[in-house]
């Protein structure tokens, strides 16, 4: 495996802020800044360059929820998603909560297969949750 490491993104670091704005699945900087200040991003560095991200959200400001995980295409397939997920799991465990939740748009089989492969189990579905009318399927991982 190439040389990869994961760290909690630092709001004071311009490198980390640029990476979060670029890699999170939301592209507005104001949202990124708010989430950075809340220490919710884990960044994957490969050879010192940010190339992957995981964001921990909180349902009802209480229950840990993997809001997004993404790795740049050139760095996929090296096991780095497990490094990012491990960091999120450790972060979530520190809350004392028993489970980490996650979800995927119902029409995206690849992310769903990834969730099941890395240990999530199916946890239901909310119909038409997405603004484009698609269902959202949920996953759960014991901490």
Interface with ligand COA (CB under 6 A): 68-71, 76-82, 104, 110-111, 113-114, 117-118
Nearer to ligand COA, 96 or 109 (CB): 109
User: What is d(CA 90, CA 143) in angstroms, rounded to the nearest whole number?
Assistant: 8
Cβ contact 56:67 at 8 Å: yes
- Residue 12 CB, shortest distance to ligand COA, in Å, is 27
Q: DSSP code of 25?
A: S
Nearer to ligand COA, 37 or 74 (CB): 74
- Residue 18 CB, shortest distance to ligand COA, in Å, is 19
Q: Which residues contact 5 (CB under 8 A, 6 or more apart)?
A: 44, 45, 83
Structure token digits, residue 128:
């038409």
User: What is d(CA 118, CA 102) in angstroms, rounded to the nearest whole number?
Assistant: 12
Nearer to ligand COA, 36 or 112 (CB): 112
- Residue 50 CB, shortest distance to ligand COA, in Å, is 13
Nearer to ligand COA, 1 or 12 (CB): 1
- Residue 57 CB, shortest distance to ligand COA, in Å, is 11
Number of helices (H) and strands (E), helices first, in the chain? 4, 7
């Amino acid at each position: 495996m190439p040389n990869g490491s994961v760290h909690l993104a630092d709001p004071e670091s311009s490198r980390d802020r640029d990476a979060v704005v670029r890699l999170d699945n939301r592209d507005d900087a104001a949202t990124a800044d708010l989430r950075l200040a809340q220490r919710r991003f884990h960044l994957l560095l490969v050879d010192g360059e940010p190339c992957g991200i995981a964001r921990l959200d909180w349902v009802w400001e209480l229950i840990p929820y993997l809001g997004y995980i993404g790795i740049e295409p050139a760095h996929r397939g090296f096991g780095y998603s497990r490094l990012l997920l491990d960091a999120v799991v450790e972060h979530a465990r520190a809350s004392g909560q028993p489970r980490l939740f996650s979800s995927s748009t119902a029409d995206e089989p690849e992310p769903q297969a990834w969730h099941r492969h890395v240990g999530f189990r199916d946890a239901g579905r909310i119909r038409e949750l997405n603004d484009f009318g698609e269902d959202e399927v949920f996953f759960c991982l014991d901490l």
